[in-house]
Amino acid sequence: MTTKTTVLNLTEEEFVHPGNRACSGCGLSIIYRTALKALGRDTILVVPPSCLTVLQGLYPIASTQLPCLNVTFASTAAAATGVLGALRAQGREHTTVAAWAGDGGTADIGLQALSGACERGEDFIFFCYDNEAYMNTGVQRSGTTPRHVLTTTTPISGKPQKNKDVPAIMAAHGLDYIATASASYPIDLYDKTVKAKTFTGPRYFHIHTPCPAGWGFPANLSVKIGRLAVETGLFDLYEIEHGRFRLTGKSAKMLGKKRPPVADYFKTQARFKALSDAHIEAVQQEVDEKWERYEKAGVPADA
């Protein structure tokens, strides 16, 4: 039995230095700091243009204390493949290769390269930090922006379409380890990252990442809002390990319990202003049906 991870026994070694260029309240700054502690020093990072490019700093100063290759938008997973190829050629397979992309860099422009790399079975961990729009370019809609959300390219009526389910797309590739996580539950992310390192082949993380500037809420509420997304049953924490789905952490504890209404989450953010009562009711129904399926299927949950 291993010791339960808490903030008290996390490594004190920091790989993301303070004074970086993230916005205040940035969900990414929480998960990047935490996951890098789990990845450890023997890691090479691959990053496409995204908020993370800015967070890491402007040449010649960098806040990240791990080697990092900045690559073109569409090529993240292919570039991770190239790093791995060179490491194999040089007998340096002990080094972990971790790619970090936003939702656009993963679900939209980066999807082809990611799919190709997963099909080839490349031995990397891919982290998608999903802030549900193109935040770095100023809040344009992406493939993971939820329905009815206001962005600068869906400015009045909100986005008409549903968001795509990227973990399900990854699951269709037959990956051995897929996990969701939330910036509001960093220890859960830490433990899952440590676990992911025990697998080989492509591993995928989809991380719900609150963004005060893009979502329209005060910067001191990031953690609270991320928790609400999980507590209302909108965003679920789970693992898909060798094809087996399992709720984890807070989501696992919610089975059989009453959830707060999704309206509680929607009213905290300016981006949901276009939602009518009917819209909210429809989303509530979708969430209720999803959780009914979990209950009926007897989805296993960790303790």
Partner 1 sequence: MHIIESGNVAAALGVKLAEAAVIAAYPITPQTPLTEKLSELVDAGEMKAQYIPVESEHSALAVCIAASSTGSRTFTATSANGLLYMTEQLNWAAGARLPIVMCVVNRGIGAPWTVWNDHQDSISQRDTGWIQLYACDHQQIIDSVIKAFALAETVSIPVMVCYDGYILSHTYMPFELPDPEQVRAFLPDFSPQYALDPTCPKNLNTVTLPDIRPDVRNETAPGYMEIRHNLHTDMRKSLDVIGDIENRFKTVFGRNGDPFIEPYRTDDAEYVAVCMGSLSYHLRDVIDKLREDGVSVGVAGLRVYRPFPDKAVAEAFSGKKGLIVFEKALSYGYQGALFADIKAALYGCAERPFVKNYILGLGGREIKTTELAEALRDSCRPGSETSDASEWIGLKM
Residues at the interface with partner 1 (CB under 8 A): 41-44, 46, 53-54, 56-62, 64-72, 74-75, 77-83, 85-90, 95, 112-113, 115-116, 119-120
For 196, the token pair is 């992911």
Nearest approach, Cβ of residue 246 and partner 1 (Å): 30
Q: Which is nearer to partner 1, 112 or 200 (CB)?
A: 112
Could you tell me which residues come within 8 angstroms of residue 135 by beta carbon, excluding any fewer than 6 positions away?
51, 102, 211, 213, 214
Nearest approach, Cβ of residue 159 and partner 1 (Å): 27
Q: Which is nearer to partner 1, 112 or 276 (CB)?
A: 112
User: What span, in angstroms and rounded, lies between the C-alpha atoms of 141 and 135?
Assistant: 9
Q: Which is nearer to partner 1, 96 or 269 (CB)?
A: 96
**How far is it between the farthest Cα atoms of the chain?**
59
Nearest approach, Cβ of residue 221 and partner 1 (Å): 29
The answer to whether the CB of 105 falls within 8 A of the CB of 80 is: no
The answer to whether the CB of 269 falls within 8 A of the CB of 133 is: no
The answer to whether the CB of 202 falls within 8 A of the CB of 265 is: no
In 3D, which of 161, 201, 207 has the Cα closest to residue 184?
Answer: 207
For 203, the token pair is 């591993």
Q: Which is nearer to partner 1, 31 or 80 (CB)?
A: 80
Compute CA 27 distance to the chain's CA centroid, rounded to the nearest angstrom: 10
Nearest approach, Cβ of residue 245 and partner 1 (Å): 27
User: What span, in angstroms and rounded, lies between the C-alpha atoms of 83 and 79?
Assistant: 6
Q: Which is nearer to partner 1, 136 or 154 (CB)?
A: 136
Nearest approach, Cβ of residue 41 and partner 1 (Å): 6
Q: Which is nearer to partner 1, 116 or 143 (CB)?
A: 116
The answer to whether the CB of 123 falls within 8 A of the CB of 130 is: no
C-alpha torsion 52→182→165→51, nearest 10: -10
For 9, the token pair is 């026994």
Nearest approach, Cβ of residue 27 and partner 1 (Å): 21
Nearest approach, Cβ of residue 56 and partner 1 (Å): 6
Q: Which is nearer to partner 1, 29 or 53 (CB)?
A: 53
User: What span, in angstroms and rounded, lies between the C-alpha atoms of 81 and 127?
Assistant: 15
Q: Which is nearer to partner 1, 46 or 211 (CB)?
A: 46
For 96, the token pair is 């972990």
Compute CA 257 distance to the chain's CA centroid, rounded to the nearest angstrom: 25
Nearest approach, Cβ of residue 57 and partner 1 (Å): 7
